[in-house]
Structure 1
Amino acid sequence: MKIAVIDAQGAGLGQTVIKRIRKEIYEETYIIGLGTNTIATSNMVRAGANVGITGEKAICSFCDRHNIDCIIAPIGIMCNCGINGEITTSIAQSIFQMDCAKYIIPLRKHNIFIPGTRNLEIKEIINEIIIDIKQSIIQ
């Protein structure tokens, strides 16, 4: 199974997700860390990603050319200028157009609020993602 994890800034969330995937479903996964900057990418590779890809052009090229099973990211990747401006229109569009499962983590930042997610902790959301990925491996 090929899983892409995209994050920006220091990739704190991306690192957490990758570490959990490695802990829970290590052998069945190939993880690609997509970072908007070198710090984010290197932190995701240190967390256990098999490979890291950095920057707008490289991320868009990856999204256009590769087939993956799923992508995991914070909600900001769906918005132009999301994650403090690090998500460009091209990145958001490339990710949205990918033909794969998209696990979007609903962080309450930048005035984006998804009803029904108020009481969920990041840990619970990541647990749900891991469970769903495991089920898709079995099928």
Structure 2
Amino acid sequence: MKVVVIDAQGAGIGQTIIKRILKEINTDVCIVALGTNAVATSNMLKAGANVGISGEKAICTFLKTNKIDCIIGPIGILCTGAINGEITGNISQSILDIDCIKYLLPLQKHGIYIPGTRNLQIKEMIEEIVMAIKKEFKR
């Protein structure tokens, strides 16, 4: 299974997701860290990602040319200009265009509110995503 984790800035959320996946999923999983900057990518590699890719062009090329099973990241990865401007239109469009499951953490930032979402802690959201991946992976 090829799992992509995408994050920006210092990749605090991405690191947490990667550590949790490695702890919970005991089978073969390849984690690809897509960082909008070198610091984000480096931090996700330190957390245990197998591969790290940095920058807009490299991220978009990877997403267009690789088969992946799922993408995980904060909801801002779909919004041009989000995460302090680090998510470009090309990145968000490449994420939308890829045919895979997209697990989004519905952080209430960027003026986005999704009715029906519960007010969970980030670690609870990550736990829910990891459990969904485990369930999907067993199929």
The alignment's TM-score, normalised by the length of structure 2, stands at: 0.96
Aligned match of 2:117 = 117
Deviations 1:22-63 (A, max 9, x none): 100143210000000000000000001001000000000000
C-alpha displacement at 1:137, in angstroms? 1.2
Corresponding residue for residue 79 of structure 2: 79
| Distance of 2:69 and 2:132 partners within structure 1 | 12
Name the SS for the 1:64 alignment partner: helix
Give the residue type in structure 1 aligned to 2:93: Q
Q: Report deviation, 1:6.
A: 0.2
* Alignment correspondent of 1:137: 137
Secondary structure in 2 aligned to 1:103? Answer: strand
Identify the residue that residue 8 of structure 2 maps to in structure 1: 8
Q: Distance in 1 between matches of 2:136 and 2:15?
A: 22
What is residue 107 of structure 1 aligned with on the other side? 107
Partner of 2:117, secondary structure, is: coil
Matches within 5 A, 1:12-23: 12-23=12-23
How many Å separate the matches in 1 of 2:84 and 2:130? 27
SS of 1:72's equivalent? strand
Aligned to 1:126: 126
Give the structure 2 partner of residue 34 of structure 1: 34
Quote the residue 1:66 is aligned against: 66
Residue of structure 2 in register with 1:56 after alignment: 56
Unaligned runs of 5+ in 1: none
Equivalent AA in structure 1 for residue 96 of structure 2: F
Q: Distance in 2 between matches of 1:4 and 1:38?
A: 16
Gaps of at least 5 residues in structure 2 are none
- Percentage of matched positions with identical amino acids: 63
Cα RMSD (Å): 1.0
Between 45-54 and 19-28, the greater mean CA deviation after superposition: 19-28
Distance in 2 (alpha carbons) for counterparts of 1:5 and 1:15: 9
The TM-score, its normalising length taken from structure 1, stands at 0.96
